[in-house]
Structure 1
Amino acid sequence: MSMRIGGEDGARWAKHIAGIHLKIDSGRLAADVQAGADERTIAADKEALRESRRDIVYPRHLVDVTV
């Protein structure tokens, strides 16, 4: 028996949420650069932005269960 959790609706929600995170992360990076934040903060913002982009390209929302 095989069961899939997520499906198309799950994929749409995952991409939607990843898009929201991408907007938040890019805004945070821009604000921190303008404010003259230290290099650690900028590096953390850039990593968060990369992760958000990865979530859009490679969503991690699907779980397959095989019994």
Structure 2
Amino acid sequence: MQATIAEFQETNAIVQLTETGHRFAFPIKLLPDDISTGDEIELRIITKKDIEADKIKNMKQLLQELIN
């Protein structure tokens, strides 16, 4: 998802989604130090299921490397 940093508050950045215009607060501590108002960012939603799938994929790769 593409978004823009709309403004900064005390502990949050207000992020506006490019496609829908929806705004939400995003913790500043999760953003790079050099980010500014108007900067475009890409947001990705990663679920626990995605993380588990990546772990399994990585384990399969390691096993394949050990076999070879």
Q: TM-score range by the shorter chain?
A: 0.3 to 0.5
The structure richer in helix per residue is 1
Higher relative contact order (CA 8 A, sep 6+): 1
Q: Which structure would you say has the larger Rg?
A: 2
TM-score normalised to the size of structure 1?
0.34
Normalized against structure 2, the TM-score is what?
A: 0.33
Which one has a larger percent strand, Structure 1 or Structure 2?
Answer: 2
